[in-house]
Structure 1
């Protein structure tokens, strides 16, 4: 049985596109970057922590045939990891920093089973158009930036802010489907 250790509706939708049957687990993992931890190591560790926490939450008999998927996605610019904005000022500040620049979106997926675990990382590059204050204010007022790493959603209105994407669209959304499907196949789960 496959479990998704995430409450993200975007991850649920993306995983559903692979045609696999899964259940959702609610996990609570501290997402704080350690001093000296690289952005890639941080994203990978959080994805792994979510999968392990989800696996540990299962009753013993369920663990035998279970595979738990954890994922994390962060926006990175100049070595800074942009999490989810805490308020409107934070969202606007993130968007101002991203304006006219290319940033990385690091998305990690991790699988944990009874006797093994494996993960992959996907790095995409996203270039924002130069944004004026009116555009930033209108986008923040839409409410879309909240709950999104880097204060934008590529699958929503945020797409209008993006000039260029190199990499994985689904990875920027929150679950890189190519890497996820490959991991699932390696774990014996068949995808559509």
Structure 2
């Protein structure tokens, strides 16, 4: 079965490959600003759906399984997507250090005009890192590419002191949620494995 990941995220691609899938990557190229929501869980799900639908429409292959995802961090009543620049990433980290936020990841799967959408949430506890550590981390460029300005599977992993929930959600694609969604489409997860 042709599996298509509607995301440029290397972490999502790596997670799927490690789980036995070999997806084709098709970046949606959608304008994320067209979705406006003050609810982070709904925003993540709506963005995942938008990306999934855009790629599915472009492919015009009803046999393909298209997977769309998007993540946002809810922190102290604000929604953090990717930071605009290094200055914003530094400011976020200075606020987040020693505190906790909730990472919401939306998931959408489509095949043959059938679609299912779900979101998953995981609490992330950030380490109380120094200004020098923040500056060094932001200088790597990693925080500029990801929601909330952090990763758990890269340089930023040392600055996350714990999570409550599925760690795959923090990476940007929850394998348990995805398994349930493809099951709703009538596809067995193990049939997606490339062995």
Q: TM-score, normalised by structure 2?
A: 0.89
Unaligned ranges ≥5, structure 1: none
Runs of 4+ in 1 over 3 A off after TM superposition: 33-37
**CA distance in structure 2 between the aligned counterparts of 1:101 and 1:83, rounded to whole angstroms:** 18
* Pair 1:22–1:37, CA change in 2 (3 A): same
3-state SS of 1:146 partner: helix
3-state SS of 2:128 partner: coil
Write the deviation string for residues 13-68 of structure 1: whole angstroms up to 9, x where unpaired.
11122323432212111223755531111111000001110110013xx22x1221
Check the 8 A contact 1:18/1:181 in 2, yes or no. Answer: no
CA apart distance, 1:121: 1.0
Map 1:19-98 to 2 at 5 A: 19-32=20-33, 34=35, 36-59=37-60, 62-63=61-62, 65-98=63-96
Check the 8 A contact 1:29/1:46 in 2, yes or no. Answer: no
**CA distance in structure 2 between the aligned counterparts of 1:106 and 1:137, rounded to whole angstroms:** 26
Task: Give the paired residue count.
Answer: 189
Residue from 99, 102, 110 that aligns with 2:100: 102
3-state SS of 2:33 partner: coil
Check the 8 A contact 1:6/1:26 in 2, yes or no. Answer: yes
User: RMSD of aligned C-alpha atoms?
Assistant: 1.7
Q: TM-score, normalised by structure 1?
A: 0.91
Check the 8 A contact 1:6/1:70 in 2, yes or no. Answer: yes
Unaligned ranges ≥5, structure 2: none
